[in-house]
């Protein structure tokens, strides 16, 4: 199995990479693509020789995107499974003050990056699905979205919330058009990542409402029950990506523990 994980070098994507490598045979190989590569990837690659390739690049760059897919084809023989974990929360700013060009950059990563990476992979995903019609891992697209797409709102989060809303609709429409593929949107819950750290430490105090910031501090004090370790969502994504769980129907978008109870 050839798996491409966009944003697989940090956060939930990194833990997904670890979970897949630790729970699959040597024939399962991964290309991770993104701007960031955690230092632990070197030792992970040594631990699983020949199974992990890292392509440093920007998902907003056409040449970098093409390089990532070409590497999958040349080194892994194609793309059986696409996992899109890349995403940014910034800019966090009120609508009356936000720099619209910054909002466009958010959409470039959160929405257009997912669309174009999927488009580039589609011929390979279709081929994999046709060749393995009963394998839940082949011809699968997993996209991390957010419950901020429709039901969660915070002051200053317009760019993030609206881009995630667009991403959720993309998942649904892609599944509608590509009937031979399995396409799923996965919501992490509040997860202990760099993004959550900034919120807990009140980095956006002058933008978000005081009670909104206090909410994150209270959740942090409660612990894992409210601010989850990234492994929890990552383990579920790994289960979906490797076909051990089929997950919800194609086109479904929901919390990771609905896909993998």
Tell me whether residue 51 is in a domain. yes
* Helix intervals (H) in the chain: 11-23, 40-47, 62-71, 100-107, 113-131, 158-177, 194-200, 210-222, 230-241, 256-259
Tell me whether residue 198 is in a domain. no
Tell me whether residue 257 is in a domain. no
- Lookup: tokens for 28: 């399962």
- Lookup: tokens for 224: 């894992």
In DSSP terms, 254 is beta-bridged to: 186
Tell me whether residue 259 is in a domain. no
| Per-residue confidence in pLDDT tens, the chain, 261 aa | 999 999 998 899 999 999 999 999 999 999 999 998 888 888 899 999 999 999 999 999 999 999 999 999 999 999 999 999 999 999 999 999 999 999 999 999 999 999 999 999 999 999 999 999 999 999 999 999 999 999 889 999 999 999 999 999 999 999 999 999 999 999 999 999 888 888 888 899 989 999 999 999 999 999 999 999 999 999 999 999 999 999 999 999 999 999 999
Tell me whether residue 112 is in a domain. yes
Determine the pLDDT at residue 38. 87
Tell me whether residue 215 is in a domain. no
Determine the pLDDT at residue 161. 97
| CATH number for 56 | 3.40.50.720
Count of alpha carbons within 13 angstroms of residue 120, beta-carbon side: 24
Tell me whether residue 136 is in a domain. yes
Domain that holds residue 115: 2-189+230-251
State yes or no: cis peptide before 91, omega within 30 of 0.
yes
Nearest in space to 242 (alpha carbons), one of 19, 14, 68: 19
φ/ψ of residue 56, rounded to 5: -80, 125
> What is the rounded CA–CA span in Å between residue 26 and residue 230?
24
Tell me whether residue 218 is in a domain. no
- Domains in the chain, number: 1
The whole-model pTM stands at: 0.95
């Amino acid at each position: 199995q050839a798996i491409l994980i966009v944003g697989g070098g940090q956060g939930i994507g990194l833990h997904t990479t670890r979970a897949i490598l630790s729970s699959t045979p040597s024939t399962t190989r991964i290309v991770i693509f993104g701007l960031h590569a955690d230092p632990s990837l070197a030792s992970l690659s040594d631990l699983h020789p020949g199974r992990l390739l890292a392509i440093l690049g920007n998902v907003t760059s056409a040449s970098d995107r093409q390089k990532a897919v070409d590497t999958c084809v040349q080194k892994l023989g194609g793309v059986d499974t696409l996992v899109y974990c890349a995403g940014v929360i910034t800019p966090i700013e009120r609508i009356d003050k936000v720099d619209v060009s910054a909002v466009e950059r958010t959409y470039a990563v959160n929405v257009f990056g997912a669309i174009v990476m999927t488009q580039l992979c589609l011929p390979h995903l279709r081929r994999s699905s046709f060749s393995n019609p009963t394998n839940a891992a082949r011809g699968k697209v997993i996209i991390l979205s957010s419950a901020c797409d429709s039901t969660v709102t915070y002051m200053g989060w317009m760019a993030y919330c609206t881009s995630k809303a667009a991403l959720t609709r993309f998942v649904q429409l892609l599944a509608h058009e590509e009937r031979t593929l399995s396409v799923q949107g996965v919501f992490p819950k509040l997860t202990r990542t760099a993004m959550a750290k900034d919120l807990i430490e009140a980095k956006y105090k002058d933008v978000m409402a005081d009670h909104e910031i206090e909410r994150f501090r209270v959740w942090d004090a409660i612990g894992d029950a409210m601010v989850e370790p990234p492994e929890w969502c990552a383990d579920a994504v790994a289960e979906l990506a490797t076909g051990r769980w089929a997950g919800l129907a194609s086109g479904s978008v929901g919390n990771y523990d609905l896909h993998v109870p």
